[in-house]
Amino acid sequence: MSKFVTGTELTGEHAAKIARTLDALRDVPSLRARYDGVAPPATLAELEAVPQMDKNDLQVALSHRPPRAAHGATWVFQSGGSTGAPQVGYAPTGLYMSRVYEQWKALTPDDVFVNGWSAGKMWGAHFLVNAYVDHARCVAMNLGAMVKEEYDPWLEFFANRKVTAFGGTPSVLRLVFGHAREAGVKLPDLRKVLFLGEAWDPQLDEDLAIVAPNARRWGMFGSTETWVVATNTPECAADTWHPIPTQLVHVGDDEMLDFTCLADDVLNPVLRYRTGDAGRVVACPCGHDGPAVQVLGRRDNLIKFRGHLVNVPDLVADLAAQPGVARAQLVVHEPADGGSVLEVLLLTTADASPRVAEDVRGHIVGSGFGPSIVFQRNPQSLQVRVVDALHGNARTGKIPDLVRR
Ligand SMILES: [Zn+2]
């Protein structure tokens, strides 16, 4: 049954924010027809009648009228997509983290925290977690992404500095702690592992039990458009989340989630916004009496590759438009020990250059957008090959854009 994940009705303040967001969306020429007859909702039942919006709608609205923060700076971040152009999200200085800290005390002043989310290139997570650290008032170290050759010296440094908390995308955490386990590294002081950007990977529980037996997981859930929507603690199920009070999560009859931002200072016009994630309302095993949502993963054209969102049809179309390429297909290899590889298979045209695979690789890595940062840091995680045939479904004859191995 369709339901909002909240214990309370809309307040007057929240209804006023929704009315302003509705005005902003109505102001966009291509969205006007959808929102023209929609009255500002005063109750959750009325909000349920407001049409939903998708990623494309939000990008159109943001480019029609780029938002500006009332105080401090207006920061722009990319939220992935394809190699074509980054999708973006805006946020003011502070990235709304005071409200996250109010609900979620993952870090405390006695922590020594390492920020292992990749930094720069307009990615939000690294920057966002630093804004959180300002509220937690702990000791913090900005690590960013590591390459394999750096794991040993940095892990030794963390052990010597008695690091108590480490945060990153689960696919990165898995490589770090998998390596630590293999190398026999012990981190007895590590108590907390923060994650954001992907679902928790159960393999981490096994590796942490050996490398850092005192460590427990603390998660944040959200997107660059909605910012942090919900949090969980070690007592919660890893896939179950408690929304922060100014984030309204709705579960549709089809189990698709949509999000509405209720806080006055939120810049992105997020109103019944569908991210492609599915979920359901559940009771969390932590016993917290507030509402909880179990996130079931994506049901759209987006995949997460090493923590970065990739729009599969957009990327395949972009590659097929490159000189000499007739058709492209993505194959994601996800070996049990981590270290996913994206293989791009190409059917070429008769006049294709013998260098077409190198050219396509250069196009992907050099775009600077979407997953290109992953391939710049881990060149072996991208393989481009010219083939005689793509993987097809023997029964239907269909050739999917994406194959998982
Ligand atoms: Zn819980």
pLDDT tens string, the chain, 405 residues long: the values are 789 999 899 999 999 999 999 999 999 999 999 999 999 999 999 999 999 999 999 999 999 999 999 999 999 999 876 666 778 999 999 999 999 999 999 999 999 999 999 998 898 999 999 999 999 999 999 999 888 899 999 999 999 999 999 999 998 898 899 999 999 999 999 999 999 988 999 899 999 999 999 999 999 999 999 999 999 999 999 999 999 999 999 999 999 999 999 999 999 999 999 998 999 999 999 988 789 999 998 887 888 888 888 888 889 988 989 999 988 999 999 887 778 999 999 999 989 999 999 999 999 998 877 788 889 888 999 999 999 988 987 666 678 889 988
Ligand 1 centroid to residue 204 C-alpha, Å: 19
Ligand 1 centroid to residue 289 C-alpha, Å: 9
Ligand 1 centroid to residue 291 C-alpha, Å: 9
Ligand 1 centroid to residue 188 C-alpha, Å: 26
As annotated, the residues of the chain forming the CATH 3.40.50.12780 domain(s) are 74-299
Ligand 1 centroid to residue 128 C-alpha, Å: 22
Ligand 1 centroid to residue 27 C-alpha, Å: 39
Ligand 1 centroid to residue 304 C-alpha, Å: 24
Ligand 1 centroid to residue 248 C-alpha, Å: 17
SS3 at position 304? strand
Neighbours of 333 (CB within 10 A): 14
Residues 257/278, Cβ–Cβ less than 8 Å: yes
Report residue 379 as tokens: 């060149």
Ligand 1 centroid to residue 309 C-alpha, Å: 26
Tell me what pLDDT residue 158 has: 97
Neighbours of 208 (CB within 10 A): 21
Tell me what pLDDT residue 227 has: 96
Residues 116/144, Cβ–Cβ less than 8 Å: yes
Residue 15: φ, ψ to 5°: -65, -35
As annotated, the residues of the chain forming the CATH 3.30.300.30 domain(s) are 304-404
Ligand 1 centroid to residue 232 C-alpha, Å: 6
Ligand 1 centroid to residue 242 C-alpha, Å: 6
Report residue 23 as tokens: 């005005």
| CA 147 to chain CA mean position, Å | 21
Ligand 1 centroid to residue 237 C-alpha, Å: 7
Return all residues near 356 (Cβ < 8 A) that are at least 6 apart: 322, 323, 324, 325, 346, 348, 386
Return all residues near 347 (Cβ < 8 A) that are at least 6 apart: 325, 326, 327, 328, 386, 387, 388, 389, 390
Task: Return the CATH number of the domain spanning residue range 74-299.
Answer: 3.40.50.12780
Ligand 1 centroid to residue 36 C-alpha, Å: 39
Ligand 1 centroid to residue 290 C-alpha, Å: 8
Ligand 1 centroid to residue 235 C-alpha, Å: 6
- The runs of H, that is alpha helices, within 32-143 are 32-35, 44-47, 55-64, 97-103, 125-136
Neighbours of 262 (CB within 10 A): 22
Ligand 1 centroid to residue 244 C-alpha, Å: 12
- Token look-up 């509405």 returns 260
Ligand 1 centroid to residue 104 C-alpha, Å: 11
Query: Could you tell me the CATH superfamily of domain 304-404?
Result: ANL, C-terminal domain (3.30.300.30)
Ligand 1 centroid to residue 231 C-alpha, Å: 8
Tell me what pLDDT residue 396 has: 66
Could you tell me the pTM of the whole model?
Answer: 0.85
Tell me what pLDDT residue 147 has: 86
